[in-house]
Copies of this chain bind each other. A is one copy, B any other.
Amino acid sequence: MEVITLTGVTDSATAKGEQTRELILSTALRLFREQGYGKTTMRAIANEAGVSVGNAYYYYGSKDHLMQAYYDLLQDQHREAVEPILATEKAFVPRLAGVLRTWLDVSAPYHEFAGTLFKTAADPRSPLSPFSEESRPARDASVEVFRRVVDGSDLKLAADLKAELPELLWLLQMGVVLFWVHDQSEDVRRSRALIDRAVPLVDRLLRLTRIPGVRGVTNDIVGLINSIKP
C-alpha cells in the first residue's frame, strides 16, 4: 500500500506498517525512559510491543537507530521549550544562557541515558555523530535556534562574524553537553555554573572583536572554522 497525500508524503499514519513502526518506537522510548538504554533489550522491546524481534529490525536497522529517534525527540522538545525565551528576551546574554539552560532542563531526565547516547554519537561511523551527514537536518535545526538567539538580540557585531556566530554557539553547546555528560554533581549544578560563567564571557569576547588588533585574529579564526567545516 502506498497512500500519497496532498503533501506528497506517504501517509504513514494509516498504513499498517507505519502503525507497527510507531508502536515499536514508542515502546522502545518508554522502556529506555523506565529502565535505561543499557538494560533495555531488543527482546524486551519486541515482547512489550507484542511483535517479534525480527520485526523490530525490519523497521529499525539497529538499537542505535531507536536511540537516534529518541535523540530527535529531545531536540524537538528543546526547540519548543525555547520559544518563550526567544519571544520575550531581547538581551544577548540571557537569551543564550536561557537556551543553554533549557537544554539542561529538557535533558535532565535522561542524564544516565546520556552517557550511552554520547558514546554512540562519538563514533564517527555512527549516524548519531553530530558531524555525520545523516544528522545534518537535526544539526541544522539546532544551529537555527542559535541563529535566532543572535538575530533577535541586541548584539552589535561585524556582519561576517555575526553570520558565523550561530555555528560557533552550537559548538559551545556541544562543549556544555560534553561537560554535562561527565557532570556527577547534584542537579548538575556544575553544568549550570559553567553556563552562568561562560555566557557572559562569550559576550565579553564578542565585544572585544571590535578592538582593531583583535579583529584580524577574529577573522582568521572564522576563516579557520570555515575551512574545516565541510
Q: Which residues of chain A have a CB within 8 Å of any CB of chain B?
A: 115-116, 118-126, 129, 131, 179, 181-182, 190, 193-194, 197-198, 201, 204-205, 208, 211, 213-214, 217, 220-221, 224, 227-228
**A and B contact pairs by CB, cutoff 8 A, 23 listed:** A115-B123, A115-B124, A118-B124, A119-B119, A119-B120, A119-B122, A119-B123, A122-B123, A124-B181, A129-B182, A179-B228, A193-B227, A194-B224, A194-B228, A197-B220, A197-B224, A201-B217, A201-B220, A201-B224, A205-B217, A208-B213, A211-B211, A211-B214
- Which of B118, B201, B224 touches A198 (beta carbons < 8 Å)? B224
- Across the A-B interface, the 7 shortest Cβ-Cβ residue pairs: A122-B122, A119-B123, A124-B182, A197-B224, A119-B122, A115-B124, A204-B217
- The CA-CA distance from A197 to B148 in the complex, in Å, is 30
- The CA-CA distance from A21 to B89 in the complex, in Å, is 61
Copies of this protein, total: 2
Q: Whole-angstrom distance from the CB of A176 to the nearest CB of chain B?
A: 10
**Are A217 and B208 neighbours in the complex by a CB distance under 8 Å?**
yes
Given contacts A115-B124, A119-B123, 7 further A-B contacts (CB under 8 A): A119-B120, A119-B122, A119-B126, A194-B228, A197-B227, A201-B220, A211-B214
- Where chain A touches its partner, the secondary structure class is helix
| Residues in B whose Cβ lies below 8 Å from that of A193 | 227
Q: Whole-angstrom distance from the CB of A217 to the nearest CB of chain B?
A: 5
Q: Whole-angstrom distance from the CB of A184 to the nearest CB of chain B?
A: 9
Considering the complex, give the chain B residue whose CB is closest to the CB of A201.
B220
| Residues in B whose Cβ lies below 8 Å from that of A213 | 208, 211
**Are A201 and B221 neighbours in the complex by a CB distance under 8 Å?**
yes
- Which of B122, B190, B197, B220 touches A118 (beta carbons < 8 Å)? B122
| Residues in B whose Cβ lies below 8 Å from that of A214 | 208, 211, 214
Considering the complex, give the chain B residue whose CB is closest to the CB of A124.
B182
| Residues in B whose Cβ lies below 8 Å from that of A126 | 119
